[in-house]
Amino acid sequence: MSGILTISRLGAQGDGIAETGQGQVFVPFALPGEKVNASLDGKKADLVSVIEPSPLRVEPPCRHFGDCGGCALQHLEETAYREWKREKLVEALRSKGLEAPVDDLVPCQPHTRRRAAFTARTTDKGVLLGFNAALSHRIVDVEECPLLLPSIVDSLPLLRDLTALIARSFKPFRLNVTHTASGLDVAAEGSGSLEGKARQAVVEFVVRSGLARLSIDGEIIVEPKKPLIMAGEVAVLPPPGAFLQAVAEAETTMAGLVGAHLAKAKRVADLFAGVGTFALRLARNGEVHAVEGDAAAIASLDRAYRFGEGLKKVTVEKRDLFVRPLTFKELDATFDGLVFDPPRAGAEDQAKQIARSQVRFVAAVSCNPVTLARDLRILVDGGYRITRVVPVDQFLWSPHLEAVALLEKPRKRR
C-alpha cells in the first residue's frame, strides 16, 4: 500500500519521520518538510518518489547511495547534516540530565576512511564485492565509494580477483581491508580453508599484487611486508583484523584532545587500550598502564612500545574490563589520569569504579552517544565535572558518531 506522507523531522538513524493517525512512519532517504510518495509497511516505508523536495536536499556523491546500506544521509546539505549530528549527542546527554558544553562537530572529509568491511561472494556469474543493502543480506556490488581512501577503491578489481581465489564455497564472507603504511592488509573471515595448490596460488597472487598481508580466520597466510600503522610517532604491527579507528585524521584529533587533557597527569591508565591508539601517544608525557581484553591487541601494543623511542614506561595488562573492571582502590593507588574507549556497549561497571575514585583527570571516548551519556551520568553523580564534549564525525554520512568527553574531579580538601 502506498500513500502520501509529510516528513516532520529526522530520526536517530537518519530516516525521515512522518506523523500519521496510526503513529510514526519511518521513511529512509526522506528529509524534513518534504511531501513524499511512500510504500507503507507498518511503521516502515520505502520512498517511491519525492513530490515536494526540501531545499536542503542535495545530489548524493555516490551512484550506489539509496541501494548500499553503508550511508544514510548523503542527500542532506552539509550544514544541516552537521547540526543534526551534533544534536544527536546533545539530546543523548540531555536525556540523562546533562547540560554539558558540546563543541561544534569536527568534520570528516570524503575519501579518508582507511578500513572497510566488505561482504564478498562468488557466484555462477562472477564475484560480488561490496556492502549489504540496508536491513538485507543482499550484496550491493560497489564500483566506487566516496568514504574510502583511493588506495582501497583503486584495489577493488584486485580484491575481486583475490575473492575468487580464496572462496571455497558460494557462501558470503567478510573481507576486512585496511590501508597501512606498507600496503593493504586483508583479513578474510569465513571464506573457507585453503590447502595445497590453492593455498600456493593465493600466496603467489598476494606477493605479486603487492598486498602487505593476507590472513584467513586469524591465520596469517602470507605477509610479504609488515602492515604497519602509526600511533603518533610509534609504528604498530596490528594483529589480523584488529580494531582501528576508521579515519586516521579523526584518531589524531581525538588523541590530541585526550593528550592535552591528561597533560598534567604523571601516571595514566588507558582502559580498553586496543593496539595503543592513546597509550603510545600518552607515553611521550608520562607513564602509562594499558589494559585490554584482547590478547593479540595488547601484545601488539607491548611490542610497539618496546621498539619505540622516546617513550616513558608503558606496562600492559590483559584483562576483561567487562568482567573485572579496575576497582577504585586500584585506581587511587596509582593513577592521576585515565582514558577509556570501550566498544559500543559502553563501560557501565568500569564507570562506577571510576566514579568512586579520586583520579583527577578523565577522558571518555565513545562511538555511541547513548551509552556515553549513561556512563557520564555515573561519573557526574560520583563528583566529576564535564568540562568539554567534542563530537567527531568519524563515520561520515551515517548515523554513527564518535565523541570525546573531558572530565575533572576537584581535589578533596584535607
Q: Tell me, yes or no, if 367 is annotated catalytic.
A: yes
Of 62, 71, 108, 367, the active-site residue reads: 367
Distance of CA 285 to the CA centre of its chain: 26
| Helix 348-356 vs helix 369-381: crossing angle, to nearest 10 | 20
DSSP string, 130-194: EEEBTTS--EEE-S--TTB-HHHHTTHHHHHHHHHHH--SSS-EEEEEEEETTEEEEEEESS---
Decide: 166 and 174 in contact? Cβ < 8 Å: no
Nearest to 129 by CA among 112, 113, 148: 148
CA distance 76 to 73: 6
The response to whether 52 counts as a known ligand-binding position is no
Read off the amino acid at residue 96: K
The response to whether 322 counts as a known ligand-binding position is no
The response to whether 217 counts as a known ligand-binding position is no
CA distance 49 to 109: 29
**Gyration radius of the chain over CA positions:** 23
CA distance 24 to 6: 11
The response to whether 24 counts as a known ligand-binding position is no
How many other C-beta atoms are found inside a 10 Å radius of the C-beta of residue 184? Answer: 24
Decide: 354 and 331 in contact? Cβ < 8 Å: yes
Known binding-site positions? 245, 272, 292, 341
The residues carrying an active-site annotation are: 367
Known binding-site positions for S-adenosyl-L-methionine? 245, 272, 292, 341
